[in-house]
Amino acid sequence: MVYRLRGFLRISIAFAAVGLGTLLILAVAWVPLRARGARLGAWLATGLARFLTRLFRIQFTCPDADKIRGHTGLVLPNHLSYVDVVLLMSITPVRFVSMAELRSWPFVGWIALAIDTVFVNRGDKSSRQEARQQLARQDSYFPAIVLFPEGHISRTRDLLPFRYGAFEVAVNGRIPFLPCVFTYDPLPVVGWSDEPLLTALWRLAAYGEPIQAQLQVLRVVEPRADDDPKQLALQTRGAMTAVLRYTGHEEDVLEPDI
């Protein structure tokens, strides 16, 4: 009974906050003013994300958050949960490359449009090409653009194969990118697979303990004109896999001194 009441209360508050936040974001979407390089609506989205993080008791840490705040380029995280997007937005205003279906979602889709999301249908070659062109035509890469190289949420902690289109864009445009690695404990509570989003959200809302979430930021990669995008994707995936596998157990692969 308690978990049902908790879940209903959190979801009700979340829906009200998202509804109000959407109205405010849309109200200022036309305003040309920027604060610290980001549109006013983007800062409102960041405030909303921080509120939702606290509401669902997600204890989020990102030791190198300033790297993301000051980054001009692409951010390439692994993708474990729908919560990934909220946590990234809670750090600082960012933009996203997202699935095309999101555009038609009420509230969430409207917010995505207002913060300059690039939409792509990954099953459509022409849509993928258009998304690459949109990324290449950007006047500025600040705020940073978040692109999940796996393409969709993984059902396990392990990384899925990377799509290397983002790396082609980075190499062709000499765009710096920042690999990042999410971890969650417990992961099953925030996971999302073949189920309605509301089902996954209810599982999180009804959960009684804090969720531990961490984002580890790797070093910035500065692509060269002669880099092979496929090789760059493989190297990046290897580095991110090592972080996932050995975080907290560095002694398995590293020894001190010479």
For residue 251, pLDDT over 80 is answered with no
Please, are residues 202 and 11 in contact by the beta-carbon 8 Å criterion? Answer: yes
Q: Report pLDDT for 26.
A: 94
For residue 211, pLDDT over 90 is answered with yes
Q: Report pLDDT for 167.
A: 94
Lowest mean pLDDT: which of 161-175, 223-237, 238-252?
238-252
> In a 3-state reduction of DSSP, which class is residue 49?
helix
Helices assigned H by DSSP within the chain:
2-28, 40-55, 65-69, 83-91, 108-114, 125-136, 165-173, 187-190, 197-206, 229-246
Q: Report pLDDT for 84.
A: 97
pLDDT band at residue 45 under the 50/70/90 scheme: very high
Fold category of 2-248 in CATH: Glycerol-3-phosphate (1)-acyltransferase (3.40.1130)
pLDDT band at residue 2 under the 50/70/90 scheme: confident
For residue 185, pLDDT over 90 is answered with yes
Please, are residues 144 and 94 in contact by the beta-carbon 8 Å criterion? Answer: yes
**Distance (Å, rounded) from C-alpha 120 to C-alpha 98?**
6
For residue 252, pLDDT over 80 is answered with no
CA 159 to chain centre: 15
The order of strands in the sheet holding 58-61 is 58-61, 211-217, 177-185, 74-77, 145-146, 95-99, 118-120
For residue 70, pLDDT over 90 is answered with yes
Helices assigned H by DSSP within 92-164:
108-114, 125-136
Tokens found for residue 93: 């205003």
Please, are residues 58 and 210 in contact by the beta-carbon 8 Å criterion? Answer: yes
Q: Report pLDDT for 131.
A: 86
Apex CA 164: angle with CA 119 and CA 77, to 5°?
Answer: 70
8-state DSSP, 195: S
Side-chain half-sphere CA neighbours of 217 within 13 A: 20
Q: Report pLDDT for 35.
A: 85
Strand partners, 97: 118
- Which pairing describes strands 34-35 and 38-39: parallel, antiparallel, or unpaired? antiparallel
pLDDT band at residue 96 under the 50/70/90 scheme: very high
Q: What is the pLDDT of residues 154-176, one digit of tens each?
A: 988 899 999 988 899 999 999 99
Query: 113-122, 147-156, 230-239 — which one is most confidently predicted on average?
Result: 230-239
Helices assigned H by DSSP within 191-228:
197-206
The rounded radius of gyration (Å) of the Cα atoms in the chain is 18
For residue 257, pLDDT over 80 is answered with no
- Mean pLDDT computed over every residue of the chain: 92
Lowest mean pLDDT: which of 159-163, 177-181, 186-190, 248-252?
248-252
